Amino acid sequence: MSSFGKDLREILISDPSLNELLDGGIFYEILPDNFDLTKKWIVYSFNVTEQQNLLNGKNAYSVYDIFIKIVSYSTTDNNDITNMLIETLNDKELNNIKDIKFINDNHSTDLEKGIFMNNLTFSSFYVE
């Protein structure tokens, strides 16, 4: 049985080029406590923004927003991971995920911790 969360995770963890860039890992919703600031991380989450039902009440499709935060100690690494994520996810199709599109990103810095972050937003079409 497929679900949006399982399909999305499979896309993220199965790409060897993306995983090669991430020495910290890929996590759903929160990073581990006291995560290593010298490593590169991805944290992702998602929510449903639209749903269309059939006449019998069953769900036909849903539209999801996907939120991905990149955390790294280098702006160069941050940009490389951003580009790789956009390349990996744009137009991606797997199981019931029929399309993913990049929407926008938002860069930020935590000067106290010495890390750079980029929050990316994607939209996805998911058929039930």
pLDDT at residue 45 tops 90:
yes
For residue 77, give its domain range: 4-127
Task: Give dist(CA 37, CA 40) in Å, integer.
Answer: 8
The per-residue pLDDT for 72 is 96
**Average of pLDDT values for 60-70?**
95
Quote the number of domains for the chain: 1
Give the CATH number for residue 13: 3.30.2000.10
Q: What is the CA radius of gyration of the chain?
A: 16
The predicted model scores a pTM of 0.91
Residue range 27-42, pLDDT digits in tens: 999 998 889 999 999 9
pLDDT at residue 57 tops 80:
no
HEC sequence for 9-73: HHHHHHCHHHHHHCCCEEEECCCCCCCCCCCCEEEEEEEEEEEEECCCCCEEEEEEEEEEEEEEC
